[in-house]
Each structure stands twice: as structure tokens, then as C-alpha cells.
Amino acid sequence: MLLDLAGPAGVFALAILVSALVYACGRSGSKGAGKDHQKSAKLQPYACGEQLPPEQVPVSIHMFDFAAFFLIFDVISIILIFSFSASNIGLPIAYVGLSGLALYAIMAYRRR
């Protein structure tokens, strides 16, 4: 068999496949969701019957970026630590390559 599903490479490939399917289902189902329920009166702020002007609250996701990159590098390091005991030397190299590709995709997506 070309890909052993019980091995680490098979589990990794299966996880990537499942996550891609979940992402595709979420993207395809969210295009028209909620457009009928968003009325302009429901989107207005309300406080004790008074009509208040909407506030512009600046949202900073600077710390979220650090948390996301920490999580990515943490998962990459755990995968690499466990893959170095594999009999095939190509497995850690493949994980490093896939991790680099994922980080490049995240950085390219953030620039848009």
C-alpha cells in the first residue's frame, strides 16, 4: 500500500484531507447565510430606548498574531520531535517542507 493510514504520514494526510473538507463545506455554506435576517434596525445600537450613534471601537489583533504563530511553531516542533524517531529520514524533511509552505501561505494571505 502506498500510504499506510496507521502510520504518522497517513494520519497527517488524513487530517489534512478532513480539515480541507471541513473548510470547503464552511466556505460553500456561508455565502448566503444570514443576509435575510440582518435588518438595519437590528444593527443599530440600543440603550434604554435611546438611539445612540454607533461607536468606532478600534480592534487590534496584534496579540492574536503572536498567539497564532506561537501555536503554529509549537505544533511544528512537536511533530518534528516525534518524527525524528521514524525510520524514514524523508518524513521530517517533508514535515519541515509542509510547515514552511503553510507559513509562507499564511504570510502571503496576511499581505492581501
Residue 38 lies in a domain: no
The model's pTM is 0.39
Asked if the model's pLDDT at residue 24 lies above 80, the reply is yes
Q: Which of the pair, 3 or 82, is modelled with greater confidence?
A: 82
Residue 93 lies in a domain: yes
Q: How far is CA 8 from CA 13, 17, 91, 97, in A?
A: 9, 14, 9, 16
Which tens digits make up the pLDDT trace of 63-90?
777 788 888 888 888 888 887 777 777 8
Residue 22 lies in a domain: no
pLDDT at position 105 is 83
Domains contained in the chain, number: 1
CA neighbor of 89 nearest in space, from 100, 99, 80, 98? 80
Residue 67 lies in a domain: yes
* Structural domain boundaries enclosing 107: 61-112
